[in-house]
A and B are shown apart, each in its own frame.
Chain A
Amino acid sequence: MSDLHTELKQSIIQQLNLEDMEVSEIENDEHLFGDGLGLDSIDALELIVLLEKDYGIKLTDPNQGKEIFNSINSMADFIEKNRIR
């Protein structure tokens, strides 16, 4: 597990107000939406903001979000390939 994975988990917990969650409770391949962490559509929008704020990635098509935010793994992959900062 890379620093990025941990960093992402910490950011998500903070940005999405997942107060009663610990970093250790989020699995790398766990579904973030639907059955896994149970995030909703507003959380998805906040994650898009997070991509830009922390990594400089501007998502032009919000529908790409579904694939990118599938899990911590897919998020980390996408960020590694596209990050500006």
Chain B
Amino acid sequence: MSEELFITKSVIIRDSKIIKNGKPFFKADPDASLSEFLKTIYKEEHLKYPKFFKMDSLSKLVYLGVELLTEGNIPDKKTALVFANSVSSLETDEAYAGTMGEFPSPSLFVYTLPNIMLGEISIRHQLKSENIFLISEEFDPTIYLDYTKALFQQKKTDNVLCGWVNLHNNEYDVFLWQIARSGRTDFNEEELKKLYLPTHE
């Protein structure tokens, strides 16, 4: 039984830019630091979520991306989360390792796992849904296709939020999208690549 699935929305955060559903949405000062960039988006979007400031950069990126993607509202609390990246939580691992010598920081250690970002999304949107985090060398549409198709086939969910969220050496690559049983864009490798691959101005 083959299920027809569709990409309903997408967000890309990369190179100081935000692209929503394939169209440029926001452009920040390219010389700003990552933390300045993140704060700018938080303010621009008029968000009020004090927990944001405690998150590491990876979770901040995902929190902001999901707010942008969903306009701050995920009505289906069973929306499954299927995420992946290549470097796990490396940036925060390094930051934590830097504190190991004298005063190990518990608040940094808490973020030294990539799936914590799924916990943060779940807490923010009160999703008690199925969630998985995979590691792959580069963005690979097939792992998302395979995994989500199985979820829909086994009737585990009606909505899936997918993400490729990578952060290393201050370079971030965030691609988030939602999948449902109806929509305008077919959910397949070609369409994903079209959305993901960098757009040139």
Asked if the two chains touch in their complex, CB atoms less than 8 Å apart, one says yes
Binding site for B on A (CB under 8 A): 16-20, 38, 42-43, 45-46, 49, 52-53
The CA of A71 and the CA of B103, in the complex, are separated in Å by 23
Known contacts A17-B53, A19-B53; A45 and B103 CB within 8 A of each other: no
Binding site for A on B (CB under 8 A): 39, 50, 53-54, 102-107, 110
Instruction: Give the interface SS of chain B, mostly helix, strand, loop or mixed.
Output: helix
The CA of A66 and the CA of B102, in the complex, are separated in Å by 24
A-B contact count (CB 8 A): 29
Closest CB pairs A-B (n = 4): A45-B106, A19-B53, A17-B53, A17-B54
Q: Nearest CB to that of A13 among chain B residues? A: B53
Closest CB of chain B to A37's CB: distance in Å? 10
Contacts of A46 in B (CB 8 A): 105-107
* B103 contacts A53, C-beta separation under 8 Å: yes
Can you spell out 5 A-B residue pairs with CB atoms less than 8 angstroms apart? A18-B50, A19-B53, A20-B53, A42-B106, A42-B110
The CA of A13 and the CA of B77, in the complex, are separated in Å by 33
Q: Nearest CB to that of B106 among chain A residues? A: A45
Closest CB of chain A to B118's CB: distance in Å? 18
